[in-house]
Amino acid sequence: MAGEKNKEKLILDSAVSLFTSKGYLATRMEDVAKTAGISKGLTYFYYKNKEDLFMALTKKAFDQFKDEFRDVYRSKGKSGLEMITELVVKIVAFAKANQVYYDSILNFLDLLKKYNNPETHQLIDPKTLESAHFQKLLEIHHEPAKIGIMMISQGLKDGSIRAELQPEITFYTVWSMIIGYEKMLGPIEYEGKELKIYAENWEPGFIRLMQEMLKGTIQASKKTTVQGSLF
């Protein structure tokens, strides 16, 4: 049993390495088997096809992603707002250190849009839908978000997040902001001189803006009504 688990891990690790260096499309199952140092037949014994292997990789990514959320939530003596702030830093660090895993998470979120829409459901590769790992992902993909929602709820309870916010909507809004922030790091770093913004000062600025949004210190300025004369 332990030997089987080691082989599964070896195949996954080899896939991560190849997807990182060559990309998903350019990687073949034969390449994975060769890198893992095992036979092609044995690779197919553990994973039916490349789509099944990628879903297994995505499942592992979500498990690790959930651990990041859980570690933040279990930290002692922090307010809900402080937890969300730490989560921003952790997610960005996770994306940098585990880009293939993070990309697989975003890919699955995109896949869910197709899966939930009857018009696009049929466009999903049947090999992906048949993967046992894909079916498991349908069950567990929301677990990191559930922890994030608990952080927001803690903030509402301890007063660090303004009381009128709804936990679920607030967390998913924050998460969408984090996804956008991470995606824009590349353009910002490339075009920094023209945009007059740099990655090193954008992160604290992003965090500060998010905190002010959650605390409620951002207020819309009222437009001054100007009484005009008809004559």
| 202-217 pLDDT, tens digit each | 888 899 999 999 998 6
C-alpha 86/C-alpha 203 separation (Å) is: 12
23 in Cβ contact with 100 (< 8 Å)? no
| 108-148 pLDDT, tens digit each | 999 999 999 999 999 999 999 999 999 999 999 999 999 99
Distances (CA, A) of 45 to 16, 31, 87, 102: 19, 15, 38, 26
- CB atoms closer than 10 angstroms to residue 44: 14
- Better pLDDT: 65 or 196: 65
Q: Where are the domains of the chain?
A: 1-47, 54-215
| 157-182 pLDDT, tens digit each | 999 999 999 999 999 999 999 999 98
With a cut of 80, say whether residue 5 has pLDDT above it. no
Segment 86-90 mean pLDDT: 95
Distances (CA, A) of 68 to 105, 175, 193, 230: 14, 14, 33, 63
With a cut of 70, say whether residue 225 has pLDDT above it. no
The radius of gyration of the chain's CA atoms, rounded to the nearest angstrom, is 22
54-215: which CATH number, 1.10.10.60, 1.10.357.10, 2.60.40.1180, 3.40.50.150? Answer: 1.10.357.10
CATH fold label, 1-47:
Arc Repressor Mutant, subunit A (1.10.10)
C-alpha 98/C-alpha 146 separation (Å) is: 22
What is the pTM for the complete model shown? 0.86
C-alpha 193/C-alpha 152 separation (Å) is: 36
